[in-house]
């Protein structure tokens, strides 16, 4: 299986971002391309997409890229202590995240990285793979990098948050697909902003991209700022994007940034990803149709439990 890189809008959910395009045959490109969206697969004839295909040095084989998913998890939390071990659904919260990660097709391994023996034991209990890390890491990225240092056979490391049990496995696969661009050091996701409250909120991180889908800047400020008039949140393709904090890294690049001092932009905005842009790294941004819900507070967890029980009831019915 060979891959090309393309920008195309999904006709089903209308999201638009760089995608891996599957080709069953050796070059030249096939008559029909299969386009992979997080929610849909659809075919387009060669003539319809020929002008959209980015020139890349060589198409790459899927089997050539080896990916692992690492989920950092810690017990301490100012708003919800011990949340990885919450279990009102009958499963640990970290187990829900682990099982969603296992549904992704892109990775051969899913690892939980923790410095807490209780979390380590819980992951072993449900059959997952835990790895004990140092307790002095300043961030989840540093914890993931410690694990990645021992994954010599892996090309790409995907960092998922341990408190996002509803993350779409298709979105994880999109992250891996974005890393098939040989010019990308990292990949992340974004969702269209549809209301002024999110656009102006400093708690919502925004991202702006170039025409290739690569990040130009991340900010807590409203970007791009509309100097004249008001933002058009219905414009297509979306101009206003909310960043979602999931990442894929080239393993060697992850080890590099973990050993790089914080950048002044990072320190100003309190956004780790600005360290990457500050040192000249490239981040591909994939656009998904909706944001995944995280669990930060007791109310968030109560809502997740309600959703999970309702989904189980519907499944039985």
CATH (domain of 70)? 3.90.550.10
- Contact in structure between 204 and 222 (CB atoms under 8 Å): no
pLDDT computed for residue 198 by the predictor: 95
pLDDT computed for residue 24 by the predictor: 38
Residue 80 inside a domain? The answer is yes
Averaged pLDDT of the chain: 84
Domain count, the chain: 2
In our burial notation (b when 16+ CB lie closer than 10 A, e otherwise), range 106-134 reads bbeebbbbbbbeebbebbeeeebebbebe
pLDDT computed for residue 45 by the predictor: 57
Domain boundary among 47, 63, 79: 63
Name the strands in the sheet holding 16-23, side by side, starting at the edge strand that comes first in the sequence: 41-45, 32-36, 16-23, 2-9, 60-61
Residue 50 inside a domain? The answer is yes
Domain boundary among 167, 199, 215: 167
What are phi and psi for residue 271, nearest 5 degrees?
-130, 115
Both 39 and 72 in a single domain? no
Both 46 and 72 in a single domain? no
C-alpha to C-alpha distance for 298 and 78, rounded to whole angstroms: 11
Pick from 96, 99, 101: nearest CA to 84: 96
Q: Report the pLDDT averaged over residues 189-214.
A: 95
Q: Report the pLDDT averaged over residues 88-102.
A: 96
309: pLDDT confidence band, cut at 50, 70 and 90? Answer: very high
Query: pLDDT for 45-80, tens place per residue?
Result: 555 554 444 433 334 444 478 999 999 999 988 788
In the chain, the percentage of residues whose pLDDT exceeds 70 is: 79
Place of tokens 């995280």: 294
Both 58 and 69 in a single domain? no
Q: Report the pLDDT averaged over residues 190-200.
A: 95
Residue 32 inside a domain? The answer is yes
Query: pLDDT for 31-45, tens place per residue?
Result: 555 555 544 555 655
Both 59 and 95 in a single domain? no
Compute the Cα dihedral for 185, 203, 14, 208 and give only its sign: negative
Judged by average pLDDT, the poorest of 135-144, 154-163, 255-264 is 135-144
Both 102 and 24 in a single domain? no
C-alpha to C-alpha distance for 98 and 167, rounded to whole angstroms: 10
Q: Which residue has the higher pLDDT, 50 or 272?
A: 272
Residue 230 inside a domain? The answer is no
C-alpha to C-alpha distance for 105 and 22, rounded to whole angstroms: 15
pLDDT computed for residue 297 by the predictor: 92
Q: Report the pLDDT averaged over residues 243-266.
A: 94
pLDDT computed for residue 76 by the predictor: 84
Both 73 and 143 in a single domain? yes
pLDDT computed for residue 299 by the predictor: 94
Residue 13, domain extent:
2-63
Domain boundary among 167, 199, 219: 167
Both 47 and 90 in a single domain? no
C-alpha to C-alpha distance for 285 and 15, rounded to whole angstroms: 12
Both 57 and 42 in a single domain? yes
Residue 96 inside a domain? The answer is yes
C-alpha to C-alpha distance for 316 and 309, rounded to whole angstroms: 11
Both 26 and 111 in a single domain? no
Both 72 and 46 in a single domain? no
pLDDT computed for residue 180 by the predictor: 92
Termini Cα distance of the chain: 39
Both 108 and 81 in a single domain? yes
Residue 189 inside a domain? The answer is no
pTM of the complete model: 0.79
pLDDT computed for residue 239 by the predictor: 93
Residue 133 inside a domain? The answer is yes
Residue 82 inside a domain? The answer is yes
């Amino acid at each position: 299986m060979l891959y090309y890189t393309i920008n195309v809008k999904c006709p089903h959910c209308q999201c638009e971002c760089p995608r891996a395009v599957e080709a069953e045959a050796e070059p030249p490109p096939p008559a029909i391309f299969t386009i992979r969206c997080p929610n849909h697969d659809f075919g387009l004839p060669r003539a319809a997409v020929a002008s959209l295909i980015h020139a890349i040095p060589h198409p790459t084989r899927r089997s050539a890229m080896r990916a692992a998913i690492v989920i950092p998890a810690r017990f301490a939390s100012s708003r919800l202590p011990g949340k990885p071990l919450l279990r009102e659904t009958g499963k640990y919260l970290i187990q829900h995240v682990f099982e969603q990660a296992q549904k992704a097709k892109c990775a051969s391994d899913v690892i939980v990285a923790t410095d807490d023996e209780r979390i380590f034991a819980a992951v072993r209990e449900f059959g997952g793979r835990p790895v004990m890390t140092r307790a002095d890491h300043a961030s989840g990225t540093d914890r993931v990098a410690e694990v990645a240092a021992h994954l010599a056979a892996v090309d790409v490391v995907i960092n998922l948050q341990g408190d996002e049990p509803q993350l779409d496995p298709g979105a994880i696969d999109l992250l891996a697909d974005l890393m098939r661009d040989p010019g990308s050091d990292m990949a992340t996701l974004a969702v269209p902003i549809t209301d002024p409250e999110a656009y102006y909120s400093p708690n919502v991180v925004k991202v702006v991209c170039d025409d290739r889908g690569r990040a130009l800047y991340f900010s807590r400020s409203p970007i791009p700022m509309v100097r004249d008039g008001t933002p058009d949140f219905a414009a297509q393709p979306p101009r206003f994007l909310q960043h979602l904090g999931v990442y894929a890294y080239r393993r060697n690049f992850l080890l590099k940034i973990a050993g790089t001092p914080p950048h002044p932009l990072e320190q100003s905005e309190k956004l780790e990803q600005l360290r990457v842009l500050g040192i000249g790294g490239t981040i591909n941004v994939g656009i998904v149709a909706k944001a995944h819900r995280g669990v930060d507070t007791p109310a968030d967890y109560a809502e997740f439990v309600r959703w999970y029980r309702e989904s189980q009831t519907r499944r039985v019915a």
